[in-house]
């Protein structure tokens, strides 16, 4: 089975399951979901007697083939089943539509305490078996947050060398830049969750370089969600990475001034857009988009920003995407003059009525893309415990899956506890609820260590 087909099979299973949980069994959406999954499974079972779907960690494996990580809904789905003790679902030839319907209703019924395999048997489902996988600890160097972290740190290091080259008047090495962009393009497609979590680390000792990489990552994630891929996705990445390169000519006392700039200083600061465009036009192999974005990224939708007096102009789509990524990352980062802001606060600033800085449609999409409590965010729960967001709920952004790290006094607990904040207890209430995002540095916890 090729990977596309395997992904399609799992997507249909997840969609059908979601339908069963949201609607009554006779609802057309539920019926359609059952049909769609049955068709895909039956097709597969024609060429092989069994299909084995496994859930290892956050990954879904179909007949031994690991599906690309990345979509939050797949991760949520995999974790959900695993948390309920299911690591393996085997479908066998002869599987009927009625069995699929029963399988989904059994999965969808969270109230029952009878073990899932027993309930399946009681419903006469014979062509589906549920089980646990026995495998050696999977240690895949290429997968997960550790691998993403390596790509990310290498990107920050390379960004620093590009910066230094431009500062010395040399041409930034296009091959090095390409390496960063290739790494980010891979992550943005295969493991967006980890990449987005990494951009949320708040550091200011090397802000300049992390900002370059974060803006590239955040812009590429937006572009990817607009179905931009391949060479164009990379061009967007280049342009985003280099948007502020003109700042190599901004004197450090202006660049790092903790207080408000005087009007003269602001005038100097404003030059970085034109200087950036000059540098990038001279850099070999730089896509034509890069100087455009450097030139435009402070212009705003109504051209009320800078450079001033440039006549009428339509901003490039990439510029609009980069402006969103740029301001979002700047507000979120800790700077010498202020703490990084929480996501919710940034969102209200950026989304203010009539804010001319952003294209509001793209901004709305960005907000949806980032989720309310993105994976890797440190959050406070209603009982005052601190937790890290480990997965987003496929449909309810207010109720992610979290790993609880501290007790209500703030003391670290020895064995962090996973909690699905969407789950209700026997009285029908939510025992856990996320109240707000917390700045990891204010409590000195690195949430990514717990992913
Ligand atoms: Fe800028
Ligand atoms: Fe910037």
End position of a domain, from candidates 92, 107, 131: 131
Query: What is the number of domains present in the chain?
Result: 3
Give CA–CA dist 56/138, Å, rounded.
Answer: 8
Spell out which residues have Cβ within 5 A of ligand 2, the ion: 244, 326
- The answer to whether residues 323 and 385 belong to one domain is no
Q: Residue 170 C-alpha to ligand 2 middle, in angstroms? A: 21
- The answer to whether residues 229 and 184 belong to one domain is yes
- The answer to whether residues 149 and 76 belong to one domain is no
pTM for this model (two decimals): 0.61
- The answer to whether residues 276 and 149 belong to one domain is yes
Cα-based angle 406, 410, 413 (whole degrees, multiple of 5): 30
Give the tens place of pLDDT for each residue, 340-351.
777 767 877 887
Whose atoms come closest to the Cα of 294: which ligand? 1
- The answer to whether residues 159 and 235 belong to one domain is yes
Q: Residue 228 C-alpha to ligand 1 middle, in angstroms? A: 24
Q: Residue 243 C-alpha to ligand 1 middle, in angstroms? A: 6
Give the tens place of pLDDT for each residue, 109-134.
777 767 777 788 888 888 888 776 54
- The answer to whether residues 214 and 322 belong to one domain is yes
252 is a domain residue: yes
138 is a domain residue: no
Q: In Å, how far are 73, 343, 414, 420 from 70, measured between CA atoms?
A: 9, 21, 29, 19
Give CA–CA dist 100/97, Å, rounded.
Answer: 5
pLDDT in tens, the chain (451 residues): 678 888 888 888 888 888 888 888 888 888 999 999 999 999 988 888 888 888 776 778 888 777 776 555 666 777 777 777 777 888 888 899 999 998 888 888 777 767 777 788 888 888 888 776 543 333 344 457 788 888 999 999 999 999 999 999 888 888 888 888 999 999 998 888 788 888 887 666 788 999 999 999 999 999 999 999 899 999 999 999 999 999 999 999 999 888 889 999 999 999 999 999 999 999 888 899 999 999 999 999 999 999 998 888 999 999 999 999 999 999 888 777 777 777 767 877 887 777 889 998 898 888 878 777 878 888 899 889 999 999 887 667 678 899 999 999 989 999 999 999 988 888 888 888 888 778 777 788 888 888 8
Give CA–CA dist 397/320, Å, rounded.
Answer: 25
Q: Residue 295 C-alpha to ligand 1 middle, in angstroms? A: 9
194 is a domain residue: yes
The neighbouring-strand residues paired with 335 are: 338
Q: Residue 310 C-alpha to ligand 1 middle, in angstroms? A: 17
Q: What is the DSSP string of 394-414?
A: SS-TTS-EEEEEE-TTSPEEE
- The answer to whether residues 272 and 297 belong to one domain is yes
Q: Residue 227 C-alpha to ligand 1 middle, in angstroms? A: 26
Domain that holds residue 76: 3-131
Q: Residue 273 C-alpha to ligand 1 middle, in angstroms? A: 7
Burial string for 358-380 (b: 16+ CB within 10 Å, else e) reads bbeebbebbbebbbbbbbbbbbb
State residue 388's pLDDT score.
93
* Contact by Cβ (8 Å): 54, 87: yes
State residue 127's pLDDT score.
86
Whose atoms come closest to the Cα of 326: which ligand? 2
Q: Residue 441 C-alpha to ligand 1 middle, in angstroms? A: 26
Whose atoms come closest to the Cα of 215: which ligand? 2
The CATH number for 168's domain is 1.10.3210.10
- The answer to whether residues 173 and 214 belong to one domain is yes
Q: Residue 185 C-alpha to ligand 2 middle, in angstroms? A: 20
136 is a domain residue: no
Q: Residue 214 C-alpha to ligand 2 middle, in angstroms? A: 10
Q: Residue 151 C-alpha to ligand 1 middle, in angstroms? A: 24
Q: Residue 243 C-alpha to ligand 2 middle, in angstroms? A: 6
Q: Residue 252 C-alpha to ligand 2 middle, in angstroms? A: 15
- The answer to whether residues 161 and 195 belong to one domain is yes
Q: Residue 293 C-alpha to ligand 1 middle, in angstroms? A: 10
70 is a domain residue: yes
139 is a domain residue: no
Q: Residue 276 C-alpha to ligand 1 middle, in angstroms? A: 9
85 is a domain residue: yes
End position of a domain, from candidates 370, 402, 421: 370
Phi and psi at 20, nearest 5°, equal -60, -35
State residue 374's pLDDT score.
79
- The answer to whether residues 123 and 148 belong to one domain is no
End position of a domain, from candidates 109, 131, 153: 131
State residue 134's pLDDT score.
42
Whose atoms come closest to the Cα of 240: which ligand? 2
Q: What is the DSSP string of 143-197?
A: SHHHHHHHHHHHHHHHHHHHHHHHHTTSPP-HHHHHHHHHHHHHHHHH-HHHHHH
Q: Residue 271 C-alpha to ligand 1 middle, in angstroms? A: 10
Whose atoms come closest to the Cα of 297: which ligand? 1
Give CA–CA dist 419/404, Å, rounded.
Answer: 7
Q: Residue 197 C-alpha to ligand 2 middle, in angstroms? A: 19
137 is a domain residue: no
Whose atoms come closest to the Cα of 247: which ligand? 1
Could you tell me how far CA 34 lies from the centroid of its own chain? 29
- The answer to whether residues 126 and 186 belong to one domain is no
- The answer to whether residues 87 and 205 belong to one domain is no
The neighbouring-strand residues paired with 420 are: 401
Whose atoms come closest to the Cα of 327: which ligand? 2
């Amino acid at each position: 089975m090729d990977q596309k087909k395997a992904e399609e099979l799992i997507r249909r299973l997840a969609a059908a399951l979601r339908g069963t949980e949201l609607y009554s069994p006779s609802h057309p959406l539920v019926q359609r979901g059952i049909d769609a999954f049955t068709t895909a499974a039956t097709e597969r079972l024609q060429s092989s007697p069994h299909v084995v779907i496994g859930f290892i960690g956050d990954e879904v494996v179909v007949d031994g083939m690991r599906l690309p990580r990345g979509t939050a809904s797949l991760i949520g789905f995999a974790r959900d089943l695993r948390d309920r003790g299911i690591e393996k679902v085997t479908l066998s030839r002869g599987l009927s539509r009625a069995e699929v319907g029963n399988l989904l209703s059994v999965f969808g019924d969270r109230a029952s305490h009878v073990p899932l395999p027993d309930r399946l048997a009681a419903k006469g489902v014979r062509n589906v078996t549920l089980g646990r996988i026995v495998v050696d600890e999977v240690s895949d160097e290429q997968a997960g947050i550790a691998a993403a972290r390596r790509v990310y740190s290498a990107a920050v290091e390379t960004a620093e060398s590009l910066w230094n080259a431009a500062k010395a008047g040399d041409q930034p090495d296009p091959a090095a830049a390409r390496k960063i962009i290739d790494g980010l393009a891979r992550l943005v497609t295969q493991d967006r969750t980890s990449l987005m979590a990494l951009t949320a680390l708040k550091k200011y000792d090397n802000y300049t370089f992390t900002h370059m990489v974060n803006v590239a990552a955040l812009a590429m994630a937006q572009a990817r969600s607009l179905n931009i891929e391949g060479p164009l996705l990379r061009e967007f990445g280049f342009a985003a990475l280099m948007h502020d390169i003109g700042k190599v000519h901004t004197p450090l006392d202006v660049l790092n001034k903790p207080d408000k700039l005087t009007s003269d200083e602001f005038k100097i600061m404003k030059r970085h857009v034109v200087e950036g465009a000059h540098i990038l036009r001279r850099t070999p192999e730089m896509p034509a988009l890069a100087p455009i974005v450097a030139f435009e990224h402070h212009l705003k939708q109504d051209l009320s920003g800078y450079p001033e007096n440039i006549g009428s102009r339509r901003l490039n789509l990439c510029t609009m995407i980069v402006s969103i990524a740029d301001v979002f990352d700047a507000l979120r980062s800790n700077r010498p003059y202020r703490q990084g802001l929480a996501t919710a606060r940034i969102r209200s600033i950026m989304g203010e009525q009539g804010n001319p800085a952003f294209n509001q449609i793209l901004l709305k999409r960005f907000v949806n893309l980032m989720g309310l409590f993105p994976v890797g965010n440190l959050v406070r729960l209603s009982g005052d415990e601190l937790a890290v967001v480990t997965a987003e709920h496929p449909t309810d952004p207010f109720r992610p899956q979290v790993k609880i790290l501290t007790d209500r006094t703030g003391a670290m607990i020895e064995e962090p506890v996973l909690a699905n904040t969407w789950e209700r207890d026997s009285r029908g209430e939510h025992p856990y609820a996320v109240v707000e995002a917390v700045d990891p540095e204010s409590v000195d916890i690195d949430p990514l260590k717990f992913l």
